[in-house]
Amino acid sequence: MKRSNGIVIAIDGPAGVGKSTVGKLVAGRLGYSFISTGKMYRALAWKALETGAGLEDDDGLVKLANSLRWEFPKGSGPEADVSLDGRRLELELAEERVSKASSGIARLAGVRLFMRGMQRAAGLAGGVVMEGRDIGTNVFPDAELKVYLDASPEARAGRRSGQLRDQGLEADYGRILDFIIKRDAQDSGRKNNPLTKAEDAHYLDSTALPREKVVDAIVDLFRTLKS
Ligand code: DC
């Protein structure tokens, strides 16, 4: 399939592996836009918490999602923001309660179907790096380039602790590691579109690889594809 703006690059992998950081850098190098699909789940979870919608009520959440005006305006860098009914959501999406609720609603079949439709529409023209858990397997099984980014839970917890400390915040490595292991189990163990590597995805283990090398590797894959 020929897309008008370029190809679709799908990056999947577990929580805290650096998909967003890497994805944004790749998008910047290629002049592509970057979309974090996790933010869409987070946005719906935020709205559900704000309106008191039932977090287990799949039909109610789909109705809520359909009632909203979703927009993905250009942000400051290559990343698209998420805007609901004209309100750009930023810090709200990073709240702990939103993070927890998003993981819960991401289990629901109707919610996932809604998200898939919206994500396909957002990326169909190409020229996009899209990051999530099921992009290469479910949203864009036809993506021209698929990457499955992995790292050991210990490496991910170590990096996250380092980031927090760099920001002058407290970091409890043990608690972070525990959180990551639980989130992995929830994302990989769910019935609907669990996190798995697409058969045709390139597997990149970044446990011992600096971010820049991961970015270089993906850009190299892109260039190989083009030549
Ligand atoms: O990547 P993130 O932490 O922002 O994602 C929030 C939640 O949404 C996470 O628990 C996994 C889920 N998610 C998903 O199931 N499928 C996606 N494509 C993206 C995120």
In the chain, which ranges are continuous DSSP H helix? 19-30, 37-51, 58-67, 96-105, 109-123, 153-166, 173-189, 211-226
Q: How far apart are CA 151 and CA 48, in angstroms?
A: 32
What interhelical angle do 109-123 and 37-51 show, nearest 10?
130
Per-residue pLDDT averaged across 34-50, rounded? 97
Residue ID of nearest Cα to ligand 1 atom 16: 133
pLDDT digits (tens, 9 = 90+) for 132-162: 999 999 999 999 999 999 999 999 999 989 8
Write down all domains in the chain, each with its CATH number in brackets: 8-221 (3.40.50.300)
CA of 77 to the centre of ligand 1 (A): 21
What pTM does this model have? 0.94
Ligand 1 atom index nearest CA of 37: 19
pLDDT digits (tens, 9 = 90+) for 16-36: 899 999 999 999 999 999 999
Residues with beta carbon inside 6 Å of ligand 1? 15, 37-39, 41-42, 102-103, 106, 132-135, 187
pLDDT digits (tens, 9 = 90+) for 114-123: 999 999 999 9
SS3 63: helix
Residue ID of nearest Cα to ligand 1 atom 2: 38
How far does Cα 209 stand from its chain's mean position? Answer: 20
